[in-house]
Amino acid sequence: MQAVVAVTERVRALDTDLSPAKPFLKWAGGKRRVVPKLLEYLDGPMGRYHEPFVGGGALFFSLAQTAAEGHGWARLTDMNLRLVRAYRGIRDDLEGVLERLADFRDGHCEDHYYRVRANSVDDSEVDADVAAWMIYLNKTGFNGLYRVNKKGGFNVPIGRYENPNIRDEANLRAVSRVLADVEIEHADYGDVFYAAEKGDVVYFDPPYVPLTKTASFTAYTKGGFGLADQVKLRDIAWELKQRGVRVLLSNHDTPEVRDLYKDFEIEQILVKRAINSRSSGRGAVAEVVIS
């Protein structure tokens, strides 16, 4: 009997000592370093939280530590279907994801990486398959990049990691708990125009306007993200503001961006970049927080 009590106590202790959920993928444009600045804009009461370019979700996971209130308090969307299915797999079938990751971890070697990479994971109807596939390739692929060719084939080479943490069970459990109350949809950013209501917060973290004409990184999804999208995004942000939605948006600090958002509040911040295929490109970059 005493043993049972002791175990129950330990489980309780573990439950109260839950570590906060962190992004489960490294994602180009990840906002981990900028989160404290963005949070300054988000104090006070807020309706639902919308993140239409969720990616790794750094701001979402940070907010979830304090702002999570009630079922459906947040709505996360992205055009990358595999990413959306990864979130759903962790939310709805955590044990399935952990099981698959254990197999991937045990089988990990260069050959295995390229075999998994070549799997046509989109054919599977099981989100846990997609989640494990995404996590494994993200933890073991070069620089944690997600890059696809024109046909949508994932084409990142293997990375050089001594001991990649392929199955981070504690964090995945925390992520699954946080996602339990959250809506996750595969949608274009334009969808938020219909979903957001007065008092809600929308954080837009789109693929950025390139810093130079040659330096563009728009390979998150097959379609890319051009100037017409940047203009449409600005128009949606403006309409939402008129409706009483609190809008926050990140982008590079370029003359084009300042011109696009000349009727908004703009603050410059300097950001150290974590993901860049050339290490020489890892200096600080000027960004803007637009509200």
Ligand X SMILES: C[S@@+](CC[C@H](N)C(=O)[O-])C[C@H]1O[C@@H](n2cnc3c(N)ncnc32)[C@H](O)[C@@H]1O
Strands 284-290 and 266-272: antiparallel
Residue 59 CA, chain-centre distance (Å), reads 9
Question: Does residue 129 interact with ligand X by CB under 6 A?
Answer: no
Beta carbon nearer to ligand X, 113 or 203: 203
* Cβ 223 to ligand X shortest distance, Å: 7
CA distance 21 to 176: 8
Beta carbon nearer to ligand X, 136 or 225: 225
Beta carbon nearer to ligand X, 79 or 179: 79
Beta carbon nearer to ligand X, 8 or 66: 66
Question: Does residue 30 interact with ligand X by CB under 6 A?
Answer: yes
* Cβ 144 to ligand X shortest distance, Å: 11
Question: Does residue 93 interact with ligand X by CB under 6 A?
Answer: no
Please identify which residue in 92, 181, 185, 188 interacts with ligand X, judged by CB under 6 A.
188
Taking alpha carbons only, the member of 185, 152, 187 closest to residue 79 is 187
* Cβ 77 to ligand X shortest distance, Å: 6
* Residue 221, C-beta contacts closer than 8 angstroms, at least 6 positions apart: 79, 80, 148
Question: Does residue 144 interact with ligand X by CB under 6 A?
Answer: no
Neighbours of 30 (CB within 10 A): 21
Please identify which residue in 74, 75, 80, 174 interacts with ligand X, judged by CB under 6 A.
80
User: Position 50: which residue type?
Assistant: H
* Cβ 39 to ligand X shortest distance, Å: 13
Question: Does residue 220 interact with ligand X by CB under 6 A?
Answer: yes
Neighbours of 198 (CB within 10 A): 10
Q: What is the largest CA-CA distance in the chain?
A: 71
* Cβ 62 to ligand X shortest distance, Å: 10
CA distances from 223 to 34, 151, 219, 246 (A): 27, 10, 8, 28
Question: Does residue 205 interact with ligand X by CB under 6 A?
Answer: yes
Question: Does residue 62 interact with ligand X by CB under 6 A?
Answer: no
Question: Does residue 156 interact with ligand X by CB under 6 A?
Answer: no
CA distance 58 to 158: 24
* Cβ 244 to ligand X shortest distance, Å: 23
Please identify which residue in 21, 24, 27, 260 interacts with ligand X, judged by CB under 6 A.
27
What's 289's DSSP letter? E
Q: What are residue 250's phi and psi, to 5 degrees?
A: -110, 150
User: Position 225: which residue type?
Assistant: F
CA distance 263 to 276: 32
Question: Does residue 225 interact with ligand X by CB under 6 A?
Answer: yes
* Cβ 241 to ligand X shortest distance, Å: 19
Question: Does residue 221 interact with ligand X by CB under 6 A?
Answer: yes
Contact 204, 53 (CB under 8 A): yes
* Cβ 19 to ligand X shortest distance, Å: 19
Residues that bind ligand X (CB under 6 A): 27, 29-31, 52-53, 55-58, 78-80, 83, 188-189, 205-207, 220-221, 225
